[in-house]
Amino acid sequence: MALEQAPAERGLFITFEGIDGAGKSSHIDGLAHALRAAGRTVVVTREPGGTPLAEKLRTLLLHDAMDPLTEALLIFAGRRDHLRCVIEPALARGEVVLCDRFTDATFAYQGAGRGFDTVALLDLERMAQTGLGPQPSPMRNPDLTLWFDLPPAVAAQRLAGARVPDRFEAQPVAFFARVAQGYADRAAVAPQRFARLDAAQPREAVWAQLADVLVQRGWLVPAAGAPA
Q: For 139, which DSSP code?
A: P
Distance (Å) of CA 107 to CA 14, 103, 213: 17, 7, 24
Angle at 141 between CA 138 and CA 143, to 5 degrees: 115
Of 184, 193, 120, 115, the residue nearest 152 (C-alpha):
184
d(CA 111, CA 132): 25
What count of residues does the chain have?
A: 228
Q: Of 29, 10, 8, 28, which Cα lies nearest the Cα of 91?
A: 10
Beta bridge partners, 146, equal 16, 195
Residues annotated in a binding site: 18-25
Sheet holding 96-100, edge to edge: 42-46, 96-100, 12-17, 144-149, 194-198
Annotated binding site for ATP: 18-25
